Structure 1
Amino acid sequence: ARTVVRMATCEGAKVLGLDGQIGSLEAGKKADICIVDMNKPHLTPMFSEYSHLAYAVSGADVDTVLVNGQVVMRNRRLTTIDENEAMERVRTISVRVKKSLNWPEN
């Protein structure tokens, strides 16, 4: 499990040629951090944090996210965009895309 977490962080950054900027928490690197709520029934008991992160945690367990040090999600709510407005824009655009593809009606 430690290897899987390392592959998703440090090794992933290295493959992209970005290991000097991201992939680990170090001075001078971008602070991209996900804070996971591990106090959930499906994550109890916890014998290994790495196993939980690699095999049990899902996006629904993420509580807070920082991108380059900026909080973009807190308490499972986005902080930098209006979610309802974004969803409405997606719905509007999807109607146009559907029409342009001659997508059949139900």
Structure 2
Amino acid sequence: VLAAHCVMLEDDEIRLLAERGVKVAHCQESNMKLASGTAPVVKMLEAGICVSIGTDGSASNNDVDMFGEMNTVAKVHKVARMDPTAMGAATTLWAATKGGARALGAGKMIGSLEVGRKADLIVLDLNKPHLTPIYNPVSHLVYAARGGDVVHSIINGRVIMRSRKITTVDEQAVLAEMGRVGRIIQDMK
């Protein structure tokens, strides 16, 4: 079972989720935009719950930038607990990668670069002022990288984006169709 948001959990409910092996999709920026609260992620992790990070999509978040989401998740939980060590970069990156894979029931296939797993990875352009110098690569991914830094994307060993150009579909045609459908939806209001 994958539970989304979980912003109103009491301690006994956290224990119950942990006992039942429920996994959680944490979408902090969506929760912030909708003013629905902040999930007790650190408590859930301490209880042994698999917490993943998601964006909740553009309908309630306006973007799907996982780097921005990681940055927000790490910082919000530090403030919520008044603890600069809460939700550290390594824990946050784990939740966005391995945690996400486990939450989807695909932890043995994706979520990390290991022999025998699907080759799902991205390549970032690190030659940017906001990414220089790099002292700690994990911390940089969580606190400094942005979705726009991605130059290549590989899914299951197949190059899907090369030099920021989608290789599998006509991106301009898809964007045009999305705009058309968006206008139809707007006209329905």
User: Which band: TM-score by shorter chain?
Assistant: 0.7 to 0.9
Matched with 1:25 is 113
Whether 1:56 and 2:149 are equivalent positions in the alignment is no
User: Is 1:9 aligned with 2:97?
Assistant: yes
Task: Write the distance in 2 (CA, Å) between the matches of 1:88 and 1:6.
Answer: 35
Cα RMSD (Å): 1.3
How far does residue 17 in structure 1 lie from its aligned partner after superposition?
A: 1.8
Offset of 1:33 from its aligned partner?
A: 0.3
Matching residue of 1:90: 178
Question: Any stretches of 5+ residues in structure 1 without a counterpart?
Answer: 102-106
Partner of 1:104: none
Indicate whether 1:76 and 2:150 are aligned: no
Residue equivalent to 2:188: 100
Letter in 1 for 2:107: D
The size of the alignment, in residue pairs, is 101
- Report what 1:43 is aligned to: 131
TM-score (norm 1): 0.86
- In 2, the alpha carbon distance for the partners of 1:15 and 1:87 equals 30
The structure with higher relative contact order (CA 8 Å, sep 6+) is 1
Gaps of 5+ in 2: 1-88
Deviation at 1:12, TM superposition (A): 2.2
State, as a whole percentage, how many aligned pairs show the same letter.
43
- Secondary structure class of the residue paired with 2:159: strand
Structure 2 SS opposite 1:29: coil
Partner of 2:84: none
